[in-house]
A = this chain, B = another copy of it.
Amino acid sequence: MHKDIMPRQAPATPGLENPGRRQILLGSASAMAAVTLLGFTPLARAEEPKSLPDYAAWKERNALIVHSANTMETQRDAIGQGVITPSDRLFIRNNLPTPPEAIVEDRDAWEVQIEGVKNPGPITIGELKKLGVETVASVLQCSGNGRAFFPHGAGGTQWSVGAAGCVAWTGVPLKDVVEAMGGPADGAEYITSTGGEELPEGLDPKQATVERSVPMRAMDQALLAWGMNDEPLPLTHGGPLRMVIPGYYGVNNVKYVQKVALTEAQTDVKIQASSYRVRDVGVKGSPDQPSMWEMNVKSWVTSPLETAGKGRTMIYGVALGGTVALDKIEVSLDGGENWQQARFLGPDLGPFAWRPFVLAADLSPGEYRVVSKATDADGNSQPEGRTDNERGYGHNGWSDHGVTLVVS
């Protein structure tokens, strides 16, 4: 397997043409072989590209774009207008093959090792459930959501907007666990979580283990979560236990978590050391570059996406502020020349949640470039453009996320 464990796929998103990249990846038999080498897992290779794999068979097929057996995004028109994304429409992005069902047969028996505390040791989910509990609504979003909009052909799944959803997570605040184990050891600077996936044979753990470090400031909101949308956390999404860092990009929310360590340094495993690093196009990843931690302010329109009848049209979308509450959401019907303030829809589930929004627009026949721009409570607004970067991370530019609407 290639040293880069992130699956690479041809752009399979309907309506997202990227001929340059398609040519590179699909244009020859040798390129196809390269695709395989570059990271499809054995599971991915065994599946028809467009069917749901067994571990995700319970998902709503019509709501998903299946990029591979490990990567499925929510169709833009299936994101909906709700404050919580129904579980069967939530995107999937796994770095490694999903563990066997056996690990969720006796959920309360699952053990996680806690290190970097005064009294380290293992603790089971059954024990965690007695330490404390909270339910937090937060956006789960892949670092590469919006990658398909980068023109340079950034490697990795060609996510459009659907590698994101808003989930109600239930679990124990990590700070309660740390407190119960005597508090942080001296010098703790990072929370380092290790996934429980079994590595495919022959893989170097330093290259393939899912192990992520986030700064200690995330202790304020970190949860060891056993529940999702008021159901036991599905295996598909990291059950029986997942580290959830509200407001942080998806990769930090380590699935099947088997170890949590408070550490002086970030882990040197590849997924932390050089992957998920923001750097210029053509530059290799390294630990001195920014890591994909806190999400930035972002929004996109979800309906209508292509056509509408003339007259009154309700324009819907979703907006998120990462770790900061939203202040306002604006919509432009002319590609950003003029902006109107839209209205948030439904109850506010807190700073880490997304907020659906709606604008009532009276449209005469014609073509409209509909874009949205969110501003958070700290005054951060989405930029117009994008920051081109090697892996196509963190795209929150409002221009690329717009849609062209034909009204007749």
Contacts and interface: CB of A to CB of B under 8 A. Distances in A.
A132 B346 contact: no
Copies of this chain, tallied across the complex: 2
Interface string A220-243: 000000010111000000000000
A266 interface: no
| A contact residues, range | 35 or more
A349 B80 CA distance: 18
Contact of A346 (B136, B231, B311): B136
B86 A230 contact: yes
Interface stretch (A13-21, A203-211, A352-360): A352-360
Interface string A127-145: 0011011111100000000
Interface string A351-384: 0010010101000000000000000000000000
A289 interface: no
A137 B83 CA distance: 10
Contact of A82 (B230, B350, B356, B358): B230
A346 B312 contact: no
A86 B229 contact: yes
A345 interface: yes
Contact of A135 (B85, B135, B136, B347): B347
A130 B86 contact: no
A274 interface: no
A170 interface: yes
B130 A314 contact: yes
6 contacts: A84-B168, A86-B231, A129-B314, A130-B312, A134-B346, A136-B347
Interface of A: 80-86, 129-130, 132-137, 168, 170, 227, 229-231, 311-314, 345-350, 353, 356, 358, 360
